[in-house]
Every structure is written in structure tokens, then in C-alpha cells.
Structure 1
């Protein structure tokens, strides 16, 4: 479709403007000033023979994470007219009421799939649950920078040499990677992915509360409570596990490692976030259950109601497989993938517009080399079942593992991590739409260097950081990063939990409209000195939390 040009007419009295084509040629974009005009016309110019029979172009608005579809351009239908009066009832409130700023009109090239591919994809993407928004026409194989990982297991003793293992594999006995080289800057490439949003109006209201510092809204202490059931059964003590909220009342715990460095055999649990009751889950598999592991990631996709589990480690083994856990029948399925998957543990995985974005992590090198840390970004498309590596620009972070990556709108906030023996306290932001890294100028005092901390997104474009490991000791402090003004705040917490690392934190959905705080559930972790935890903690974070002054 290289010879096809797209034009937009935004309003009755405006001239046609050619839409900008992305570098890889699969996306077209044009910014339209708000409020939206009464009519928008998108048409193509070019030979009919240059428009492939098996391609279509979806047109949609993007505004502050909200998507609204206009129509589809095909070889037969090369002109799409959108009229506001006919779509006003279905137009999102955020777009309907916005009078300032710009909205992105975007065209995304999709390839119509044949029967064989459709049948294979439908095993994971069940009919009627979604339409793929992000089909890649050309996918690159990831660089063969395979190999394995390091974990926050036992504390590393000074001067103690790493024992060699047979077959070139090593047990992750603590973070042992070395610094990697910073890759050369490359040209920008537009990315396409979407993560379902919270109620935007409610989020705006909460954001206003967070900004309101009037006398009527005084600063309040954050409060931590132990809500562990002392009667009912719960998961064994562990760290290196994952937990993700899968709907308003349920969270799913997967994997981890506990006492005597044994992987948790009671791998999968479901938590009712209202009653605080755990339920062990007995899973099934079409072929085989995934091997027990730690240092993996688990990512929930609400469009298909499944969890993607990727990577991790098990004693002498390192993983690069991807499993899906169907939440309707608790059945595992190993995904068949194209391209060379990177082997990673203690990386981060972010769901963005139906794709899994993997950054950093540890990978193994052949003996006698130490394990390596990655500074690369890899993307897996479940729709195309393919790995590829995007081209990114900007000042990207150094290689690291045990960091956090928290998605706020279209901005991915990366904090901390380490490449042994160095721990980091830097903050980087990846613009997911432009694939551009930046290191913002921080307001306030950043948290001390750490890795293996817990993090989650709060209301008001904020990121919570709790605990972690500073290379010597486990930590117990709590910090908030505000994406709006790029500030860090060390907040005061009543009944502070004991220092821990390798734990997880998830922010629960809102319960009522007049809520004045976020509730974060914290589970598990260890003190990096042989003790592991099984407490379930509830951390109440006010919109206006009281902060330490020093």
C-alpha cells in the first residue's frame, strides 16, 4: 500500500490534508482540533490495483487513552464519511464534552486473515469476545540475544565466587548480571497497542481531588492493615510470584518460591478482594501445565479473559515460553509462536493495545560468563503469534532487572532495578505512541536505589513504589511518583509493614464515587535473609497523603 495516500477533511469548510504515514507504513495519522467538527471525511488517492485485496484500514479517534472507531477503508470502499449527529449517542463523554486540545485520527492497516490462521488464533481469542485491533503486516524476529536470568534469592556474600554448573546453566542465587552497553539510538517507529482504561470521568474527578490542597481537603496518613485470614487456608509463604486483578472482585496469584528455596507447589490461587478470602485453583491443560517458576510475569487481558504468563526461572532452567490461562475454565495453553523469543526473568511485561511489551530482565550466558541484563524492548503479538523488536529513540535506561514498569495512559514509567552490583534509583518514561525514551527532570527527592520492589498505578496519574532490595538490605519505605509534575513523594504510613522484597502490589477498582483514597493489596515477599511472608496487607493511600518532610 506504499502508493496509496490518505486524506482527511475535518469540517465542511476545510481543505483536504494528507495524513502522515508512519515509518513502517502501517499507520496513518492526523491531529484534529477539538471540539470535533460536524463532519469528517477520509478518502484515498491511488490506483485501485495498489490496494491489496486482503487489506483493510481501520479508522479511529484516540484521545487521552479513549478510542472511538469511525469506519473501515477497503479496496471497494475508499471513502468514509463520519457525521457527528448520527454518532453523538455513542460518542464517548470525554470526546463529546472536550472543547480544547487535539484528537488523533488514526488509520491502522490490517491484513484479513485466512481460515487456517483464524482457526489457530481462535484457540486463544474466542469468537465474539474481541476483534483484533492490532494486526501486524510485517513482524521482525527478535535478535538472538537469548540466554537467562538472575533472581533476588539468597543474599550475595562479598567475595564469594559463583559456583559453576554443568551444561552451562546456573541456578539464580541472587542478582549477578553485569552492566550492558547502551545501544545506539535509532529512528522512531510508531507503536500500536491499547490497555483498557478505568472510568475516565471518575479518574478525572479523583485527579482533581489529588490536586486540591484547600483547607477542606487536609493531608492524611496512609494506613496499612493486615487482613490475612487466621482461619481459612491461604497461599504458602513466597516471593518472586505475580498477582493481577482480573475483575472488580478477583485477583489471581501465580508461582513464586518459598522456604528452603523450594518453588511453590500451590502455584495458583484466587483472591476475593472484597471478602479477602483465598481459594486454591486446580488448573487443567490441553497438553501439560507450565513448569513451576519464579521471576516470571503474569498479564491479564480483559478482552479475552485470559492471563499471559511469560518467562521466569526454575532452579537450573530459564524460560522463554508463553502460556495462557483461560479464566472461564482455568485451563492452560502453550502458545505457538513465530520468531525467536527472548529468554528473560525479572523483566517487566505491559499489555498495551493487545500486545505484550517486554523490557529488561536477566538472561543467561554460557559458562564461565556471568548472567547478563537486558536494555532491550521486545513485543509479542498474541494475534499474529509473533515476536518482533521495535525501533526506539531517546535516552533509554541502562540494562537492568528487578525494575518496575507502570503504565499511565500512554506513558510507561520505569523505575529502579539493578545490574549487579549496582542498584538504580533513576526514572525513565517511554512514550508508547512514539516509542521514545526520556529521563525527566525530577522534582523532590527520588527513592533510594532499589530492585525487586512492588509497584502499581494509582489514581491521578500516580505510581506507588513500596519496599525492595538496595543491594544489602530489604526496605520498608513507600513512595509516590506523580506523572503530571514528575515529582517523587515519600509518604507516611501508619503501621508500616516489615521490610520486604520480591512481593507484589495491586490497586483495587473504586468502590464508590465519593471515595477519597486508593486501596492497594500487598502480598508475600521475603527479607532476603531466609524469611518469607504470607501476609495479605491492605494499604490505604489517600488522594492527599501526608509526606515526610526530609
Structure 2
């Protein structure tokens, strides 16, 4: 398999990234070339060694996804899954996988044997629980017949519809079982979050959390919890001042009762670089200091690493709907908890290799 050493992944936004064996794998997204938006090659898979600070790129083969942005990615048992996204033909609802363990990096298009996949969408999120993938929300289109049967779970975007196709935001929950190759849709209870896209999500144990996102013409900072055993929704009213509303931010688990929020696009369309911790027990938000206040990011990825680190890669430092030139390719490592003494030497080496790496202005 062809590799290129000592390179740095290209700048991008709207990509997918997962962490496996302390290696960060990055796929897809788009960048700007002149006045054009260009999708990154679909047959490239970038690998970043967290400890060594070294990039490799692998040329993938097989029946893989087209070049896209806004996909939803996750890693289960060393297999990277890609669902949904948007390409030159619009949103899709296809599911693909690539094994990160065997060294061949061969894509497979997954054809379900039972159940129906979600309607085409992008800017959604997912949780992993009990060996299954649980998908939530997103922006996409439905046909009129489906729209009539899901009016409470779908808000039509009045500015985007054509004939029998209606675009909009949803708050649906869908489950994919990779062992049975089956799609299902659970009956949820409680008051679900408003339909949304470009939100952030994370899971701790049997709880899935959703924070903020684009809800019609506004951006929120509300936080909701879905019990993945009882399928019951609960809105978590904060006990302290909360972050401002935002979309295209990230949310990462950093302990058994805390989540780390970073960046995003504010209600007034300002790229942000603030970091917050949310305590799921006390429901308290706490703003935290970090060394990347001069690096606003939106539509980036964030992966929980070892020692409660969070690895943020790529994204944009501009309001991409207007400027779309500030795509980045640096990896920012956030230390959210004190390091154990046993890892001090390893951590000092890792920090030196992370903080200063090639990046675009931002």
C-alpha cells in the first residue's frame, strides 16, 4: 500500500476523523481553491500518529464513498464507518466501512438486509452503544409522502424545496446494527430536542448528549440527554451561565461525568475559540482557559484521546458561508485533566510534537 511520509494532511472543513490505537484517521471534507470549493479526494485516508506527530497518507481501494463533506463518522472495533454527507449531487444516505486494522484500507459499501435507512442527510451525529450506531438529526430532504408521516420530526426549510422534494432539519433517531446489517428506529419517550443540524454530540456510558446546533434560523446552546437503554429524552437545564448559541462546534467526553465543548459559529456568525466543560451531574457549565484562544474553529472534528485529551483537527477560522478561505490543517491537543505522573515523560514528548505543526493562518 502506497504511503507518503513526513507530510501534513491538507487543510479542510466538514471532514470526518476517528481515533484508533492512538492514531487519528482523517477522511473527506472540502477546501477552497481560488473562488471554488473543492472536495478532498475520496481515495485518500490520512493517518496522524498522536505520540510522534507524524502524518501518513494511504491510497484506499474498494467500493468507497464519493468525495463529500458533512458525513458522520465513527470507529467500532477498528472499523471506520461513514454515513450520509453531501456531494455534488446533494445529500446521500449510503453507509460505507473501511477496516483500519488489516493494512489494505479497502472500502466496502454496506447493503442492509433489513430495515430502511434514514432519508438522505448531512451534518448529523452519532453515538456508539452496545455494538450499534445510533444516529441523530441532520439536514436533508424527504419526499412529500414521508414528510406527511413525520411532521413532528422534520421542519421544512422554506427557502429550499423543489417539486416533490422538501429540505429541512430533523430530530430522528435511527439505529444501525453492523452484525445484523439492519436499520431500525426506536420509539423514543420524553420531549425530544427540536429538529437540528450542525449540532455536537457525545456519549458517556448509556447516555447520549446533544448540544446546540442550527435550529431553523437560529443557533442554540441547549443540551439534551437520550438514555440509550430506555430511549427517553431529558433536557438538561443548566445550573450556571451557559455558552452562547452556536453550530458547527464539537463536544467530547473527558471523564465519566464531564463533556468538553470547543468553538463553533455563534448566533451573530462569529467564529469562536472558547472552551467549556459541562458537568452532567451538576449540570454546570464552566469556561476553561486553553492555549488556542487565537485559533477559532468551526466545522472541525474533535476526538477524545488518552489522558482525557481532546484532539481537534482542521475546520475553518472564517464564517465559511461568506469568506470560505480560512480552512486549517493543524491538530490542536487540549489537556482537560491533570496528567498522571506515570505519563509525564510521554506527555512532554507528545505536547512538543503537537502544539507546533504546519497550519494555515488562523
Settle same-fold status: TM greater than 0.5. yes
Is 2:242 aligned against 1:465?
no
In structure 1, the partner of 2:115 is: 339
Does the 8 Å CA contact 1:508/1:520 hold for their aligned counterparts?
A: yes
Q: Distance in 2 between matches of 1:406 and 1:396?
A: 16
Tell me the CA shift for residue 455 of structure 1. Answer: 2.0
Equivalent runs, 1:133-532 vs 2, <5 Å? 232-247=6-21, 249-259=22-32, 260-265=36-41, 267-285=44-62, 288-302=63-77, 305-327=78-100, 328=102, 329-337=104-112, 338-342=114-118, 343-365=120-142, 366-367=161-162, 371-471=167-267, 472-510=269-307, 518-526=308-316, 527-528=318-319, 529-530=323-324, 531-532=326-327
Tell me the CA shift for residue 497 of structure 1. Answer: 3.6
Residues 474, 489 of structure 1: alpha-carbon distance in 2 compared, 3 angstrom cutoff: same
Tell me the CA shift for residue 364 of structure 1. Answer: 2.1
Residues 313, 411 of structure 1: alpha-carbon distance in 2 compared, 3 angstrom cutoff: same
Residues 363, 494 of structure 1: alpha-carbon distance in 2 compared, 3 angstrom cutoff: same
Aligned with 1:540 (options 335, 348, 362)? 335
Does the 8 Å CA contact 2:225/2:234 hold for their aligned counterparts?
A: yes
Q: Which is greater in Rg?
A: 1
Tell me the CA shift for residue 429 of structure 1. Answer: 0.6
Tell me the CA shift for residue 495 of structure 1. Answer: 4.2
Secondary structure at the aligned position of 1:373 is classed as strand
Does the 8 Å CA contact 2:141/2:168 hold for their aligned counterparts?
A: yes
Q: Provide Cα deviations, 1:179-230, integer angstroms capped at 9, x if missing partner.
A: xxxxxxxxxxxxxxxxxxxxxxxxxxxxxxxxxxxxxxxxxxxxxxxxxxxx
Q: Distance in 2 between matches of 1:313 and 1:346?
A: 9
**How many matched pairs?**
302
Q: Distance in 1 between matches of 2:139 and 2:231?
A: 22
Does the 8 Å CA contact 1:312/1:318 hold for their aligned counterparts?
A: yes
Q: Provide Cα deviations, 1:239-290, integer angstroms capped at 9, x if missing partner.
A: 001111112x2121111111131101274101111011111011121xx322
Q: Distance in 2 between matches of 1:441 and 1:425?
A: 11
Q: Distance in 2 between matches of 1:505 and 1:386?
A: 28
Does the 8 Å CA contact 2:251/2:260 hold for their aligned counterparts?
A: yes
Q: Distance in 2 between matches of 1:276 and 1:497?
A: 21
Does the 8 Å CA contact 2:137/2:171 hold for their aligned counterparts?
A: yes
Does the 8 Å CA contact 2:223/2:237 hold for their aligned counterparts?
A: no
5+ residue gaps in structure 2? 143-160, 340-362
Q: Distance in 1 between matches of 2:105 and 2:275?
A: 35
Q: Distance in 1 between matches of 2:270 and 2:233?
A: 30
Does the 8 Å CA contact 1:455/1:504 hold for their aligned counterparts?
A: no
Q: Distance in 2 between matches of 1:404 and 1:235?
A: 24
Does the 8 Å CA contact 1:378/1:387 hold for their aligned counterparts?
A: yes
Does the 8 Å CA contact 1:254/1:298 hold for their aligned counterparts?
A: no
Residues 470, 316 of structure 1: alpha-carbon distance in 2 compared, 3 angstrom cutoff: farther
Does the 8 Å CA contact 1:239/1:257 hold for their aligned counterparts?
A: yes
Tell me the CA shift for residue 234 of structure 1. Answer: 1.1
In structure 2, the partner of 1:172 is: none
Tell me the CA shift for residue 336 of structure 1. Answer: 1.1
Does the 8 Å CA contact 2:44/2:60 hold for their aligned counterparts?
A: no
Does the 8 Å CA contact 2:204/2:256 hold for their aligned counterparts?
A: no
Tell me the CA shift for residue 356 of structure 1. Answer: 1.0
Secondary structure at the aligned position of 2:221 is classed as coil
Q: Distance in 2 between matches of 1:251 and 1:333?
A: 20
Runs of 4+ in 1 over 4 A off after TM superposition: none
Alpha-carbon RMSD across the aligned residues, in angstroms, is 1.8
Secondary structure at the aligned position of 1:332 is classed as strand
Q: Distance in 2 between matches of 1:256 and 1:346?
A: 12
In structure 2, the partner of 1:28 is: none
Secondary structure at the aligned position of 1:534 is classed as coil
Does the 8 Å CA contact 1:393/1:436 hold for their aligned counterparts?
A: yes
TM-score between the two structures when normalised by the length of structure 2: 0.79
TM-score between the two structures when normalised by the length of structure 1: 0.53
Secondary structure at the aligned position of 2:111 is classed as coil
Does the 8 Å CA contact 2:249/2:299 hold for their aligned counterparts?
A: yes
Structure with larger RCO (C-alpha < 8 A, sep 6+) = 1
Secondary structure at the aligned position of 2:20 is classed as strand
